[in-house]
Structure 1
Amino acid sequence: MAAVDAAKVLPKLKSEVATLSQISENEKSGFINLVTRYLSGEAQQVDWSKIQTPTDKVVVPYDSLAPVPEDAAQTKKLLDKLVVLKLNGGLGTTMGCTGPKSVIEVRNGLTFLDLIVIQIETLNAKYGCSVPLLLMNSFNTHDDTAKIIEKYAKSNIEIHTFNQSQYPRLVKEDFTPLPCKGNTGKDAWYPPGHGDVFSSLKNSGKLDALLSKGKEYVFVANSDNLGAVVDLKILSHLIANKNEYCMEVTPKTLADVKGGTLISYEGRVQLLEIAQVPDEHVNEFKSIEKFKIFNTNNLWINLQAIKRLVEADALKMEIIPNPKEVNGVNVLQLETAAGAAIRFFDNAIGINVPRSRFLPVKATSDLLLVQSDLYTLADGFVTRNLARTNPENPSIELGPEFKKVADFLSRFKTIPSIIELDSLKVTGDVWFGAGVTLKGKVTITAKPGEKLEIPDGSVIAGKNITAPGDI
């Protein structure tokens, strides 16, 4: 960071940010605060020798949690303390969609958001409680979401939306806010990561409103994680043990080697991200031997504690610099992650949950898994089919022809049966008929310039297919 002289940059930046009429005073001060911390070069790396593996007291095994009493009145009392908050700021652009990612259809014509609403409706109806749903939007998703949620007006849940902060992108060369360079479009701004959830809850007035209704805990999760459903055992444990913060972690597989992990560090539990790892220890960080768990980004947090820490300006999460290019200009976005806040809360823990609580849909290969017979759907809950004996999901690699949701859907007449599939790799111009079954390790490769159609009803078991004759 030596290239930028903070003493010169900051006064100029403050006066430029003051002229931005598109954002609130809270956003201006939050942004200046973030840049000031970044320029001060706060140490991001950890002292490797001080890292300790957390004990079962710090990362509690899920199986050790007490069962929830079957008394419906007690369960209602528990649930009436809860708020569900879904991070809804992301667009579906990587999957070729416009608008919020949460409105991509997942199963039976239902979107992520439909499933979330159905789950909470089911809970509220079953226990006579009133768990509200909060959606944290970004300026990218706010308008669309406002229209979309009109269809839930008659449901038995309160749905609230609020926006996370809107910050100006910084021109890397001279640390000028991009909007001050004459770019007044949407791409001059960015939402500063989900670590912003705490201050945005407070600034929007939602935090005080929830506390005044007797709410105590918020369950925060990504809207695209189909496994992130309300879990009474976790909620009950946190209330009984007065844990201010809980991060759900789950055992790492080779697909998750870059995910953040929990460590004990100087007497507190802390999130360790790959960006903080000294170069010479990166391979050790990625190994499954030493760091066996990773962060699912399912977080349970005490609302009173959020209020205390935000008001004291005590949540100084590690800053994640995210370089981008906008119309040929190199810009910088400074972001934070909600999981990194764990070290500021008292009596914070991790809970090592089953893998079923982590079912994110980041690409069409994930969509194939959740739309297939590998999962069943009931009351908004997507559950693993018991007919699958292998605890691991099949690994699926689809070529670029399948990247966009519309293309993906057009290339399958129906989603194949994959109960007995170990792995699937598809390359080239491949089209699937109806009622196809895939088993074992399957590779399907269309030769360049050729279209390869898999006929209706085909059963392909442990084969490498490059031509119709191979089927």
Structure 2
Amino acid sequence: MVDTKAEYIMELTDKTKADVKGGTIIDYEGQARLLEIAQVPKEHVNEFKSIKKFKYFNTNNIWMNLRAVKRIVENNELAMEIIPNGKSIPADKKGEADVSIVQLETAVGAAIRHFNNAHGVNVPRRRFLPVKTCSDLMLVKSDLYTLKHGQLIMDPNRFGPAPLIKLGSDFKKVSSFQSRIPSIPKILELDHLTITGPVNLGRGVTFKGTVIIVASEGQTIDIPPGSILENVVVQGSLRLLEH
């Protein structure tokens, strides 16, 4: 930042299939700009999601020169674009339809165009560990990470990137997630996990390789305590009854 006399630096990291919706930096008329997926026309969304064309994405780790921030704010130069983003609010009662809304957003990354010598820096993946969904929460609470000096560190015994975890709508709320997964499974050797429908995990469960669990409509799957699932598809119904 000192060497380039940059007033603003955005940390970018390599895009994976799990990050296709992340914003990215583009060159617009010789100026660095942030492009968010909500700003992309529908006919170009797949192009935006391509990890070949857009190889990096915004981590939202931002470095700013505070003197420059003061100057820009005092001069009323901080004109931020408002981004309309379609969202849905879960219904209060079961059986009711979700409420569709339009959320108006501004992105801190969009401020990049107001600063001198602003640019992006490609950083290691370990500097990006977001928690936006319960799928993300399951990952960071697992045995894959340990907390060291205020930073989550991946287990050195893990080979390759973090696994891809996809939890269905039954795990959308934190309360539902905690109820169905009271004990986070061991995932050190997991590559991919998909859970759909009302599924409950017992304590001491281990996932390895690719694991897909799909509860049939109107049915429930209970994964027994201490289970080890490796490269398997579990589908249908499985209930554990107390005797």
After TM superposition, is the score higher than 0.5?
yes
Q: CA deviation at 1:331?
A: 8.2
Q: CA deviation at 1:413?
A: 4.0
Corresponding residue of 1:143: none
Which structure has the highest helix share of the two? 1
- Judged with a 3 Å threshold, the aligned counterparts in structure 2 of structure 1 residues 258 and 333 are, in CA distance, closer, same or farther, namely closer
- Judged with a 3 Å threshold, the aligned counterparts in structure 2 of structure 1 residues 415 and 302 are, in CA distance, closer, same or farther, namely same
Note if 1:319 corresponds to 2:89: no
Corresponding residue of 1:287: 50
Pair member with larger Rg: 1
Corresponding residue of 1:427: 196
Alignment of 1:360-379 (within 5 A): 360-379=130-149
C-alpha distance in 2 between matches for 1:434 and 1:343? 50
Q: Give the letter for the 2:30 counterpart.
A: G
CA contact (8 A) 2:207 2:230 kept: yes
Q: CA deviation at 1:280?
A: 4.7
- Judged with a 3 Å threshold, the aligned counterparts in structure 2 of structure 1 residues 421 and 335 are, in CA distance, closer, same or farther, namely closer
C-alpha distance in 2 between matches for 1:307 and 1:294? 27
Q: Give the letter for the 1:460 counterpart.
A: L
Q: CA deviation at 1:386?
A: 1.2
Secondary structure of the 1:418 match is strand
Corresponding residue of 2:2: 239
Corresponding residue of 2:31: 268
The Cα RMSD (Å) is 2.7
Note if 1:389 corresponds to 2:159: yes
Corresponding residue of 2:95: none
Alignment of 1:45-124 (within 5 A): none
Secondary structure of the 2:9 match is strand
- Judged with a 3 Å threshold, the aligned counterparts in structure 2 of structure 1 residues 255 and 413 are, in CA distance, closer, same or farther, namely closer
C-alpha distance in 2 between matches for 1:331 and 1:366? 24
TM, length-normalised to structure 2: 0.83
Residues 351-404 of structure 1: per-residue CA shift (max 9 Å, x gap) = 11111111111111111111111111123211111111022x222222333222
Residues 79-104 of structure 1: per-residue CA shift (max 9 Å, x gap) = xxxxxxxxxxxxxxxxxxxxxxxxxx
Note if 1:463 corresponds to 2:226: no
Structure 1 vs Structure 2: percent identity of aligned residues?
Answer: 58
Residues 26-72 of structure 1: per-residue CA shift (max 9 Å, x gap) = xxxxxxxxxxxxxxxxxxxxxxxxxxxxxxxxxxxxxxxxxxxxxxx
- Judged with a 3 Å threshold, the aligned counterparts in structure 2 of structure 1 residues 269 and 399 are, in CA distance, closer, same or farther, namely closer
Aligned length: 229
TM, length-normalised to structure 1: 0.45
C-alpha distance in 1 between matches for 2:101 and 2:129? 33
Residues 153-197 of structure 1: per-residue CA shift (max 9 Å, x gap) = xxxxxxxxxxxxxxxxxxxxxxxxxxxxxxxxxxxxxxxxxxxxx
* Structure 1 unaligned spans of 5+: 1-237
Corresponding residue of 2:97: none
Residues 297-322 of structure 1: per-residue CA shift (max 9 Å, x gap) = 11110111011111111122222235
